[in-house]
Structure 1
Amino acid sequence: MSILNFFLGNLLLIIFVSYFGTKLHRPIMIGVGCAIMGLGCFLISLPHFLMDRYEYESTVSVSSNFSSSSFLCMENRTETSRPTQDPSECVKEVKSFIWVYVLVGNIIRGMGETPIMPLGISYIEDFSKSENSPMYIGFIETGTIIGPLIGLLLASFCANIYVDTGSVNTDDLTITPTDTRWVGAWWFGFLICAGVNVLTAIPFFFLPKTLPKEGLEDNPDIIKNDKEEKHRAEIKKERQSITKDFLPFMKSLSGNPIYMLFILISVLQFNAFVNMFSFMPKYLEQQYGKSTSEAIFLIGIYNLPPICIGYIVGGLMMKKFKITVKQAAHVACWLSILEYLLYFLTFLMTCDNSPVAGITASYEGIQQDLSVGYDVLADCNKVCNCPTKIWDPVCGDNGLSYMSACLAGCEASVGTGLTMVFKNCSCIQTSGNASAVLGLCYKGYTCSMMLQYFLILSTISSFIYSLAAIPGYMVLLRCIKPEEKSLGVGLHTFCTRVFAGIPAPIYFGALVDSTCLHWGTLKCGKPGACRIYDATNFRHIYLGLPAGIRGASFLPAFLTLILLRKRHLPGESDSTGTELADAKATEHENECKDGCQNPKVPKAGELKTKL
């Protein structure tokens, strides 16, 4: 939901900022955007300080009014689960408007992010050599990955800290970060981001509105004349009408087949990317048994650094070999296909479902058909009168997990908090005194090795995919006219977020939820978050759907390569900074021959000597 709100705020302004921002002071616009993002992050963190403490569903909660043994197997007892919630408190909870802070904060954050990429890219493109532009953009795209890398490391740190740390005694907790009921200190990261965004905004207010074209620094006369001509042209243009060429630009972009095909490719690729990146932590949790903190940390370490390196290498490769736009299109396409083929190896790196009695396995430990359904009650626990909806898993000595200590048939407990051990468990069929501990059972060494293979392949794929990103992005920048560049980048961003960023998490999340095997229960009896998924179906959706979407994106990619063969792109006529300087110097020289007196023109003898 936060992603949708962010994109909503971004979409409200993206096209207009991309167009009108070029008429204004672009660095100041970017600085204002950073400051606004800081305000949005601060608003998002406020609910933590305004709402009550988090209470997770549990039969062993220290805040409950049960006796020390009321959550264990006891005969002739009425079924109880938690203290009955006061109906007035449930009504109060429903009417709470704390979520408005998150909604408004994300919308404001999206608005602040709007000018950064379109205006930043156009600012660099306008004042850099065409041969250096890919390298500069590569460094910028690298920065867009370094930021999330630091953010993921920060999120991993925060996710490992309990949400109400400082307000509760964490020694009394009966859950760990690996438990699906765990909630980390999500608010702490937003406070840090708020401060960082405000500090980042400061340097942009000191950047000039325009810069001398790279390559012309050694010719002050040309720089001075260029500045005066551009200043007069800008004033004249602003006086005429600031919106005069907006509709013609839009018409020109929509009639550009290369540009429209590139948008279609981006929409399809972004659909797959958003789905995979958004749900990757949950996939690592459910498939390989990792905690949220560990999953976020692994993503940051294994995926983002290769992307940074790929962006830099891609930009340097464009500069080193002077790759043309048409060659860049081929490089981007074939590298993407290579990475796409490697992607299918991830289907082999699988783990089985966690064996949970009554859900994914029988009480004898035999994996059962999930389509038939399950029954959490068995002969060994029918007399216990256990709650059947509360998720409070324990791991038995037999390697089988149970939904609760009561459903495992345990009659006694020793210790408190995470050190609690349950004894005399009738459903745990082992020799001797059967016992259980809190949490799901470990998935095993084989599953851990599969995770390592998955992460290594993900690292290689991320590098290859990012290596193709900068050549592909240069096709976007060079297939449109220079005066349409900022608007073109903004429209491209608008389309990818309307047709991918917003709908992708919705339909993908709905498909993932369809694989849920057991839903949690909130305080007022409403269904909560999913506690355990069918790992097999989850894997098919998580890996299969993006594969199909990405496969479809190669059809317009091949059509683009065909159209590029005989099409002349606006970016192909761009001169390098040195060529532009020579042209300007020649033009200036010719004007002086026709009548102007230039005291700096050397005499014939001096010219011969220099030659």
Structure 2
Amino acid sequence: MAHVRNKKADDKKATVVAKEDKNKNETEGVIKLQTYLKTIPIAKKKFARLPKRKKSPTSAELLLIDPRYSASKEGPLGLGPIVLPFLQRFNNIDGFMTLYVAAVLIHGALFAVADMTLNIYQVQFSLSRTEWYLMDFSDYIASFIVAIIIAHFGSKGNRTRWVAASCILMGLESMLFAFPFFTYEIIIPGRQSIELCIEENEKRNIICGNSVPNRSKCIYFHIAGQCIHGIAGIPIYILGMTFIFDHIPTSSCGFYLAIGHSAYLMGYLLGIVGGLQNFQPPPKEKIIEIEPAKVYQLLQSGWWKTFLIIAAISFCVSFMMACFPTSLPGAHKLRLAKRKEPPTIDRRLKDMKIQPHLKGFLHNIWHILKNPLMLTQAICKVSEYLTFNASLYFLPHHLQTQFLITPGIASLLTGAFVLPGAIIGHFLGGLIVDRLEMTNKNKLKFTLVTTVVSVGLFLLIFFVECQTTTFAGINEDYDGYGQLGNLTADCNEYCDCTTSLYSSICGRDEKEYFSPCFAGCRATKVSQTEKTYYNCSCIKEGLATSDDEGQFIDAIAGTCDTNCLKLPLFFAFYFSATVFSNMCSIPVISIILQSVPANFTSLSLGLTYAIVKFVACVPAPLLFRMSSAIACIYWDINRCGGKERCWIYDKKILVYEFMGIWMSSQLIIVLLDIYAIQIHDVVVHGEITESKTTVKDVKAQKERKA
């Protein structure tokens, strides 16, 4: 028994020792674990100090963070499954802006070159008014028809793909414009009227426009190209603008919108500069080398080559533009930040959504049009377009009439001052709004001030005038041998002159003549870089000077010098007025975009462009032509019996028409801005937020703070 008891005691001791060893081991394990728990956070802190490479969260991660992110569709830069890592550095708003500016430049340049080819068609085909109107304004009509449709459906998809599709359309329309110049004979060599009074004038073959071969085909190709041009511009200027607005902070929208909007005018200017090169005659060596029947191909080669170059650039830009995703990285974060900004939209549109069916779509359009901020700024945009188009139309006629400048030089000076002035005005307006971070109400005040300044500068223009020169057949009757209003007199009736070529000359009698033919001049040559004319039967008075060969000069090319030194002052005032009148463009667009909810920006901008095209672009040229026709004194009536253009205008009537259209458009902007400033707080907040504080209230507030 004792042995058994001792054995049990030994077993108990062994069990106790084992338990103690186990507890000891557990205690040591806990101590080691505590040591690790202390050292791991310290190591974590040390590693946390190291610079970490930032990784963009995936769409799934962002979806877990915020369920609203499911509508964002951010993605990489690539074409379908083809995604190159080294190109992701361009997957931002700056990379998109580079391609967007290229697309806008192409669209503006293409518009300029198409306008220049229309002038060629006008000269060569003797277009009727209906044909000219359709060929010139079919792009505006097409853009008006599709503006709201593209704005509605394009906002639901990938807007960058819509812009890429526009670039493809621009390439196709360039090929349509190029095809007639590559295939048909349009520019006929020797078609220009002879400017001297010679017997060969009576033997000229009279070719009226309707008898020109392939005339109808050329007109159809041009109209088709213009329609595609109008359709291609809508995604660029509506969906592209809203895409930019959605990917930049509200405070920086002015700068980016200014760059995109100024690029169109810059492209138009570049198109004019490039197109003017095609008017230069080819070298005589090349003309001699080819057959006479193929000279037209040499004369037209510059035009179709220009269009094909534009087409190639358009296709390249389209391919790169299609690589951008629906939303750029960081768009969702920016969208959430914009929701926290002070309200700027019409409070009645706050919770509205775009309905999928037609009735809801029309209902949304009606509510947007009821937004007074959006509607007033849309009408301001119409007035801005009227002002700009009036400058381009009336200023050449005003320069020609007031300062006796030839039509070609007047058009060149108009483009040299109006287009750069508009570009600078657009950019400065956006830059000032961006740097000062203006609210919508301050933008309205800024627009009001710049418009008033432009009106003041424009009024100063019409105090600058010069003395009218004597013009034979217009305000002088050929020394009693002719009649006022008739360029033909006894001294030139046998010359069989044409009014289709306006090439004014100044005779030694200090009178201006419509052309050397109407002055009865029979010979010409270039003397000392100046074109001179001899044996002019209508020029009988004045001091005659001789050239280097001893022959007496009767007239020189160009208008007579009236010793008027006020032309630089005129352009200084007009350039300044143009800059200030265009400074309101970017603030107006930003107010339109900010006065509606984010899902309505494309539709509101589409409505704005539809209104502009319908009111300012389509009927305005007809209004300008009708008003200028009232002031016309002498028309160009071609040999086919049609009126082509007006050469000479009544000075006073033209000034009143120009001033009335320009100033009435600007005054509309002033009145609408005053109205928008008054109702802004009521529309946005529902009440007047700016309360009037008296001196007693200010003293009471200071006492409370003390």
Displacement of 1:146 in angstroms is: 2.4
Alignment CA distance shift 1:547-1:167 (3 Å): farther
**Secondary structure at 1:518's aligned position in 2?**
strand
Alignment CA distance shift 1:138-1:438 (3 Å): same
**Secondary structure at 1:348's aligned position in 2?**
coil
Question: Does residue 1:85 correspond to 2:85, yes or no?
Answer: no
Distance (Å, rounded) in 2 between the aligned partners of 1:17 and 1:284: 41
Match of 1:58 among 193, 197, 220: 193
Match of 1:224 in 2: none
Percentage of pairs with the same residue: 20
- C-alpha contact 1:519 1:530 (8 A) present in aligned 2: yes
Distance (Å, rounded) in 2 between the aligned partners of 1:121 and 1:516: 42
Q: Which amino acid aligns with 2:510?
A: G
Distance (Å, rounded) in 2 between the aligned partners of 1:342 and 1:26: 41
Deviations for 1:461-503, whole angstroms, at most 9, x for unmatched residues? 2332333332232221111122111000011000011011100
Query: Please, what TM-score do these two structures have when normalized by structure 2?
Result: 0.64
Correspondence 1:161-310 to 2 at 5 A: 161=280, 190-213=307-330, 216=333, 241=356, 245-290=360-405, 294-295=409-410, 297-310=412-425
Deviations for 1:354-397, whole angstroms, at most 9, x for unmatched residues? 5331123232499x9xxx94344556x27x63436545654322
Distance (Å, rounded) in 1 between the aligned partners of 2:223 and 2:641: 25
Displacement of 1:334 in angstroms is: 1.8
- C-alpha contact 1:157 1:293 (8 A) present in aligned 2: no
| Structure number having the greater helix percentage | 2
Alignment CA distance shift 1:530-1:45 (3 Å): farther
Alignment CA distance shift 1:242-1:196 (3 Å): farther
Unaligned ranges ≥5, structure 2: 1-132, 289-299, 337-352, 546-551, 687-706
Distance (Å, rounded) in 1 between the aligned partners of 2:315 and 2:396: 29
**Secondary structure at 1:568's aligned position in 2?**
helix
| Higher RCO (CA-CA < 8 Å; seq separation 6+) | 1
Question: Does residue 1:361 correspond to 2:473, yes or no?
Answer: no
User: More deviation in 14-23 or 200-209?
Assistant: 200-209
Distance (Å, rounded) in 1 between the aligned partners of 2:473 and 2:439: 61
Match of 2:610 in 1: 494
Displacement of 1:246 in angstroms is: 2.0
Alignment CA distance shift 1:424-1:208 (3 Å): closer
Q: Which amino acid aligns with 1:9?
A: A
**Secondary structure at 1:58's aligned position in 2?**
coil
Match of 1:325 in 2: 440
Question: Does residue 1:109 correspond to 2:229, yes or no?
Answer: yes
Question: Does residue 1:397 correspond to 2:508, yes or no?
Answer: yes
Match of 1:334 among 412, 436, 449: 449
Distance (Å, rounded) in 2 between the aligned partners of 1:406 and 1:291: 17
**Secondary structure at 1:401's aligned position in 2?**
strand
Alignment CA distance shift 1:520-1:81 (3 Å): farther
- C-alpha contact 2:381 2:585 (8 A) present in aligned 1: no
Q: Which amino acid aligns with 1:53?
A: I
**Secondary structure at 1:531's aligned position in 2?**
strand
Please give the root-mean-square deviation of Cα atoms over the aligned residues, in Å.
4.0
Match of 2:630 in 1: 514
**Secondary structure at 2:534's aligned position in 1?**
strand
- C-alpha contact 2:524 2:532 (8 A) present in aligned 1: yes
Question: Does residue 1:457 correspond to 2:591, yes or no?
Answer: no
Query: Please, what TM-score do these two structures have when normalized by structure 1?
Result: 0.73
Displacement of 1:523 in angstroms is: 5.0
Displacement of 1:353 in angstroms is: 4.9
Distance (Å, rounded) in 1 between the aligned partners of 2:680 and 2:242: 23
Q: Which amino acid aligns with 1:450?
A: K
Displacement of 1:215 in angstroms is: 8.8
Displacement of 1:329 in angstroms is: 1.1
**Secondary structure at 1:538's aligned position in 2?**
helix
Q: Which amino acid aligns with 2:584?
A: A
Match of 2:678 in 1: 562
Q: Which amino acid aligns with 2:647?
A: R
Correspondence 1:462-501 to 2 at 5 A: 462-501=578-617
Alignment CA distance shift 1:529-1:467 (3 Å): closer
Distance (Å, rounded) in 2 between the aligned partners of 1:81 and 1:528: 21
Alignment CA distance shift 1:142-1:253 (3 Å): same
Q: Which amino acid aligns with 1:385?
A: Y
Question: Does residue 1:413 correspond to 2:534, yes or no?
Answer: no
Displacement of 1:406 in angstroms is: 5.5
User: More deviation in 487-496 or 49-58?
Assistant: 49-58
Between structure 1 and structure 2, the one with the greater Rg is 2
Alignment CA distance shift 1:320-1:551 (3 Å): closer
Match of 1:604 in 2: none
Deviations for 1:501-533, whole angstroms, at most 9, x for unmatched residues? 100111102222333333334353444333333
Distance (Å, rounded) in 2 between the aligned partners of 1:531 and 1:186: 28
**Secondary structure at 1:12's aligned position in 2?**
helix
